[in-house]
Structures are given as structure tokens and as C-alpha cells.
């Protein structure tokens, strides 16, 4: 999608630190990491957020979660990790392309909100 930051990253028009890629997903390091591992997993097809996930085919949606698991393995997060997807204004989403934060590498805080 034109003018979407993450679409430009997927296309290689904006550089990123790629961690993983498959047919349906792309994963790269967050530019402002909040944990030792902070990777963003995105579907290659543009959809704005979880609120629009019914615009994605089930295979791609499932591929996103499987990519999160793959990232956890690649990053050696054997003691656990967190997957977060912010959605919309109240969810503090800042980039309107569906993405899953994979966070780990230390004991995370109890707070979810």
C-alpha cells in the first residue's frame, strides 16, 4: 500500500534489520526496542490492524502467529516471551499495518496495560 511504512520495509524501499521472512510474513527488529529482543512480525499483505484481520486469508493470519513462534526460536527465547498487537487509538497503535511485537530476552513486567 502506498505511503505505508511497513509496506515500504517489506518491499525493501526502507532498510530494516530482517530476522525472518516467508511467503506470507516478514519480521524485523523494532527501531526502538523495549526488550533485548523486540521484533515486529507483519503480514506482507497490507491490512491496518487486528480490527481488519478478516481482510486477510486464514492461512496468512495463521502464518503471522507461526512466524512469531519461529522468531522466538531464532532469538533463543526458550524461557518465554510476549506477543502484543496494538490496535487503534486506545490500543496506542502508531503504524497502521497489522503487526505483532515479539518481546523477550528478560523477565517482562506483569503489567499488560
Output DSSP code: residue 51: G
Three-class secondary structure of residue 49 per DSSP:
coil
Binding residues among 59-88 for ligand AMP as defined by CB under 6 A: 86
State yes or no: is 46 an active-site residue: no
Class of residue 25 by CB neighbours under 10 A (exposed 0-12, middle 13-18, buried 19+):
buried
Interface region with ligand AMP, contact rule CB under 6 A, candidates 29-37, 59-67, 74-82, 103-111 = 29-37
- Count how many Cα atoms sit within 13 Å of the Cα of residue 31 in the half-sphere of its side chain: 7
CB of 113 to ligand AMP, least distance (A): 14
Using CB under 6 A as the binding rule, whether residue 32 contacts ligand AMP is answered as: yes
Q: Which residues are catalytic?
A: 99
Instruction: State the residues that interact with ligand AMP by CB under 6 A.
Output: 5, 14, 16, 30-32, 40, 86, 92-95
Amino acid at each position: 500500500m502506498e505511503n505505508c511504512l511497513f509496506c515500504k520495509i517489506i518491499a525493501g524501499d526502507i532498510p530494516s534489520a530482517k530476522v525472518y521472512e516467508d511467503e506470507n510474513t516478514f519480521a524485523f527488529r523494532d527501531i526502538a526496542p523495549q526488550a533485548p529482543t523486540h521484533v515486529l512480525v507483519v503480514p506482507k499483505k497490507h491490512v491496518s490492524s487486528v480490527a481488519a484481520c478478516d481482510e486477510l486469508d486464514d492461512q496468512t493470519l495463521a502464518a503471522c502467529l507461526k512466524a512469531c513462534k519461529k522468531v522466538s526460536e531464532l532469538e533463543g527465547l526458550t524461557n518465554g516471551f510476549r506477543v502484543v498487537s496494538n490496535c487503534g487509538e486506545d490500543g496506542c497503535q502508531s503504524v497502521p499495518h497489522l503487526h505483532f511485537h515479539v518481546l523477550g530476552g528478560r523477565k517482562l513486567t506483569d503489567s499488560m496495560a
